[in-house]
Structure 1
Amino acid sequence: MKSAVETLSPTRAKLTVEVPFEELKPSLDKAYKQIAQQVNVPGFRRGKVPPSVIDRQVGRAAVLDQALNDVLPQKYSEALQENNLTPLAQPELEVTKFDDNGPLEFVAEVDVKPEIVVPDYDGIAAEVADIEVSDEDDEEQVQALRERFGTLKDVERAAAENDFVVIDLKATQDGEAVEGAEVSGMSYQVGRGGMLDGLDEAVAGLSAGEEKAFTSQLVGGDLIGQQVDVVVKVTQVQEQELPEVDDDFAQLASEFDTVAELKADVKERLGRGKRLEQAAEARDAVLEALLEKVEIPLPEGLVTDELNTRREQFEQQLVFAGLTLEKYLEDEGQTQDEFEADLERRVRDSIAAQMLLDEIAAKNEYGVDQNELTQHVIRRAQQQGQDPQQAFAHLQEHPHHISEYAAEIVRGKALAEIVEAAKVTDKSGNEVVLKGLLPDGTFAPEGDEAAEAADETVDES
């Protein structure tokens, strides 16, 4: 086989491939065997029909077509390897010559990974926010614990902010009940929001047995975003009684004996969370600084496909959250054009970052062992609220995901190397240490086996 490559652009290549007829023989033999299994010819058992009979009964052209379908992907793949090209999309193939007993010639145009010169990333400077755990942060966490262990008691008064009410609710449009927009005996906290616009204002001030009508827009179902008439009736008003923050509460809500120990633990956990947020900020800042030092041309087809995928995912998230795109843009103070421009910028940065990290990983010859793959699958499952056993079962049914996970792991290693080689400081000028940071926000002891796995935390966070 002979092949030649023509560079159409930094991200587009044209392969011209010529395959001698002799190299087609294995595919021709395979085609004859497959067709022999499919045809019934009197006097011959299925699968034992000679090639000469197949040529007469089915036609030599059918055999050549089947052989062509078999050999094309093989020779295309060989040509890519021969010319050190990494495809980023499906090729546009055209057979330019294919005669019986003659050579096969075809051309293939395909988007390819551009040549990337990795810039020096040792000592890249980046600044991140200070780690600050305020008294308000502490109080918010303690308050959340109090609410979790709070109790509800009925009260004979009108509902107010933060009260719990039991409600019946029904929505209609043009006098007809809206399917799926009727609830009965539902507990709802006044001021919580997130259900129907206007609901909080409607129930506030109502006592048990009273009802109120209002109009709102549905946040789900077939009529999402449409105006409906709503009637809500309060059947019960309840006040939440919260436990006092004392040693008894500490023993009830935690493994600690005193409230002082509980609050110290809350502060420590908040600090670990802030440290992980700082690590994520450092990752983004360092990667952004590195990307500014290199020009990476991107195939427009790849960008378009990723943009479409991101849009679809975002639209699904909006539906799940009960929002329309118009409502989201209004809340964010964005125009449609600004949203699209921001989405395209993020997509381009993401693709460029993946290409750069892949290049660094390849140069450093990073590998992936079984333990790393196992831990990666477990982390992904936990992040998605999935049972790890289900994740492993899915991986067995769809083994092609293994290569995707392996790529994520080596990119994480490349990113960890870049970030650890950078000079990251907080706004107060303090050095930010990231090496050995574990997923829980603590640091692995030096020499500990866990320290090796900790490198991924910079990426996973």
Structure 2
Amino acid sequence: MEDALNITVKPQEPKDGVLTAQVTVPAADVDAAIAKTYRDIAHKYQFQGFRRGHVPRPVIDGILGKQAVLAQATNDILNDLEPMVLNELDIVPIGRLEYPEEPDTLSAGIDYMVECHMDVRPSAGLTSYDAPSITMPPDEATDAEIELQINQLLSYQTTYEDAKLERAVEEGDIISVNIDDVGNGGRYAGQNRMISLDGASLPEALRNGLVGMNPGETKDVSWEEGDSTVKLTLTLNSIMKAITPELTDELAKKNFGFETVDELKAAIKEEIEQDKVRSLPGLKEDRLVEAVGKLLDLEEVPENYKNQIFNELANEFLSTLQRQGLTLDTYLGARGVEAKDFLNDLHAQADERARQSLALDALASHLDIAVSDDDVRAEFGKARVDDVDAAIDEWTSGGRIPAIRESIRRTKALSWLVENAEVEIVDEVGERAAAGKKPAKKKSAPKKAAGKKPAKKKDSSKEQPEEPPAE
């Protein structure tokens, strides 16, 4: 439609996850819609004896049929109604609006009424509306965090040598192995490859093949990866041991560019604290969202909502892989992950995100959080769009403003959590070290010591154990 319809929408209470609404289009807008359809037809088709755009209605009715014209006008108006209904109800549905399979057609001079249905999220509460308690690392760098960073730096100086062990390979070992490609295994192949079996992601068949081998032994392994069969020949050279140098002033200067160990530690402390300034606010939000999600008083998230979130997560992930030039099969095969396990994990993530979203909605409702037009304008301003008014008009015409308002409500609810949560400061790295647990591996590249030259390039004797294949 060229102009917004002056519709009225009367929603009913949702039942079994479905909201039904009665939509009324006034007669004036009905007549305008019919007139527009006649004009469109007159411009689109060539009628013999008439100029385009100057075809009387009786001629069009005689050739196309009046009911066909009214059916087209009805279809057009139903398509235009969806974003208007969403804006009117200020709702973000699951999927699209649905109309009767055979809706009534428009009639000139008469109000048009139609019933629409949409799947909606459940309205659930929380078991408690008190801000949850969480733990957070301190703003300052702790001794354990500095020690962890130093150990990571020293690990890049680690060398490996034959442990001369006459036993079979066990989980947790670091090994040197020759891997020959027999078929479709080029990305795994290599001579004298050092591989750590301390939980690194390897294809299960490859891991199982390595564990139990003795130095000098050769073995063939194979497994299905996507549409192909990977075939490798493994020859175990030796079980290796790591030799990590002691941190001294000499090493600090030679390898990291600092005069003393104390200078190196001071630089690491500064870097950690700068990183915390950037990362801790987001970490606090993540932990609060996770905590409030566990308070959702809902036994089961509706399947259609979980599927919607699942599709969003899957599309995000596949887009990331595509930007990296990877396929899903390659990604899964490189990490030894079965497709079913990957999908199960993604479904679990979708369920968790759905619960967290519903929990924030419940909190926003309990706090009676309102979203003003100024809030909406400010949100577009944050996005630095060139023309805020034009952007708002575009989103309004698409029925997407409710999604913006929903996002703002959730953000305000999260801000309330941040302001009111009880936070216990805990040296988490220190506690993990005391418990003998390894820290979670970071996906990003290790950071170099701040403010000084990086460690010198390693020679081949300092090659690190790897997780085949590299991306």
* TM bin (shorter chain): 0.5 to 0.7
Matches within 5 A, 1:184-333: 184-185=189-190, 188-192=193-197, 193-195=200-202, 196-198=206-208, 200-201=210-211, 205-206=215-216, 212-218=218-224, 220-223=225-228, 230-233=232-235, 245-251=247-253, 254=256, 256-267=258-269, 269=271, 280=283, 283-285=286-288, 288-289=291-292, 292=295, 301-307=304-310, 318=332, 321-324=335-338
2: distance between equivalents of 1:258 and 1:128? 34
Bigger mean CA deviation after superposition, 88-97 or 231-240: 231-240
Cα distance in 2 for partners of 1:184, 1:230 equals: 8
Residue type at the aligned position of 1:422? A
Map 1:409-424 → 2, pairs under 5 A: 411-424=410-423
Secondary structure in structure 1 of the residue aligned to 2:12: strand
Shift of 1:188: 2.6
The one of 117, 121, 129 equivalent to 1:109 is 117
| Cα distance change on mapping 1:364 and 1:424 into 2, 3 Å | farther
Of residues 46-55 and 248-257 in structure 1, the stretch that sits farther from structure 2 once superposed is: 248-257
Residue ranges of structure 2 left out of the alignment (5+ in a row): 1-6, 319-327, 386-390, 428-471
CA distance in 2, matches of 1:277, 1:423: 15
- Alpha-carbon distance change, 10 to 273 in structure 1, aligned in 2, over 3 angstroms: farther
Q: Which of the numbers 24, 30, 43 marks the counterpart of 1:24? A: 30
Residue 93 of structure 1: how far off its partner (Å)? 0.7
Letter in 2 for 1:258: T
Cα deviation code 1:97-134 (max 9, x no counterpart): 3254344331111234666889996x635142665988
**Residue 134 of structure 2 contacts residue 287 of structure 2 at CA under 8 Å; is this kept in 1?**
no
SS class of match (1:7): coil
The letter of the residue matching 1:128 is T
3-state DSSP of counterpart to 1:424 = strand
Contact 2:180 2:234 in 1 (8 A): yes
Q: Is 1:92 equivalent to 2:98 in the alignment?
A: yes
Code of the residue aligned with 1:190 in structure 2: it is I
Unaligned runs of 5+ residues in structure 1 are 172-176, 330-335, 378-394, 429-461
Match of 1:350 among 341, 344, 356: 356
> Partner letter of residue 306 of structure 1?
I
Structure 2 partner of 1:454: none
Q: Name 1:66's counterpart in structure 2.
A: 72
Is the partner of 1:197 in helix, strand or coil? helix
Measured in 2, the distance between the counterparts of 1:328 and 1:341 equals 9
Aligned length: 381
Q: Distance in 1 between matches of 2:426 and 2:281?
A: 11
Residue deviations 1:355-391, cap 9 Å, x none?
Answer: 24665695264454567436xx9xxxxxxxxxxxxxx
Alpha-carbon offset, residue 415 of structure 1: 0.9
State the AA in 1 paired with 2:133: A
Once residues 266 and 292 of structure 2 are traced to their aligned partners in structure 1, the CA distance between those partners, rounded to angstroms, is 37
Alignment of 1:131-170 (within 5 A): 138-148=146-156, 150=157, 162=174, 167-170=178-181
For 1:57, the equivalent position in structure 2 comes to 63
Matches of 1:11 and 1:23 in 2, distance apart? 31
Q: CA-to-partner distance for each residue in 1:265-296, whole Å, 9 max, x for gaps?
A: 43555577789579736753576358738779
Check the 8 A contact 1:7/1:13 in 2, yes or no.
Answer: yes
Question: SS in structure 1 opposite 2:114?
Answer: strand
Q: What amino acid sits opposite 1:111 in the alignment? A: D
Q: CA deviation at 1:6?
A: 2.4
Letter in 1 for 2:415: A
Q: Distance in 1 between matches of 2:254 and 2:304?
A: 58
Are residues 424 and 239 of structure 1, via their aligned partners in 2, closer, same or farther at CA, if it must alter by over 3 Å?
closer
- Normalised to the residue count of structure 2, the TM-score between the two structures is 0.60
Query: CA separation in 2, counterparts of 1:405 and 1:200?
Result: 53
Question: Is contact 2:296-2:359 (8 Å) kept?
Answer: no
User: What is the CA–CA distance in structure 1 between the aligned matches of 2:89 and 2:285, rounded to whole Å?
Assistant: 38
SS in 2 for 1:40: coil
Question: CA–CA distance in 2 between the matches of 1:83 and 1:163?
Answer: 63
CA apart distance, 1:340? 10
Within-5 A mapping of 1:374-393: none
CA contact (8 A) 1:116 1:296 kept: no
For 1:77 and 1:264, locate their aligned partners in 2 and report how far apart those are by CA, in whole Å. Answer: 58
Are residues 222 and 35 of structure 1, via their aligned partners in 2, closer, same or farther at CA, if it must alter by over 3 Å?
Answer: same
| In the alignment, structure 1 residue 373 sits paired with structure 2 residue 383 | yes
**Conserved? CA contact 1:373–1:406, under 8 Å:** no
SS in 2 for 1:9: coil
Pairwise CA distance, 1:352? 0.9
TM-score (norm 1): 0.61
Alignment of 1:359-370 (within 5 A): 359=365, 362-363=369-370, 365=372, 366-367=375-376, 368-369=378-379
- Secondary structure of the 1:30 match is helix
Assess, with a 3 A threshold, how the Cα gap between structure 1 residues 266 and 348 changes in structure 2: closer, same or farther. Answer: same
Q: Do 1:11 and 1:297's aligned partners in 2 also have CA atoms closer than 8 Å?
A: no
**In the alignment, residue 413 of structure 2 is paired with which amino acid?**
A
The AA in structure 2 aligned to 1:124 is A
User: Displacement, 1:213?
Assistant: 1.4
Q: Is the 8 A contact 1:245 1:259 kept in 2?
A: yes
Counterpart contact for 1:31–1:63, Cα < 8 Å: yes
Note the C-alpha offset of 1:246.
3.1
Task: Please give the alpha-carbon distance, in whole angstroms, between the structure 2 residues aligned to 1:36 and 1:50.
Answer: 8
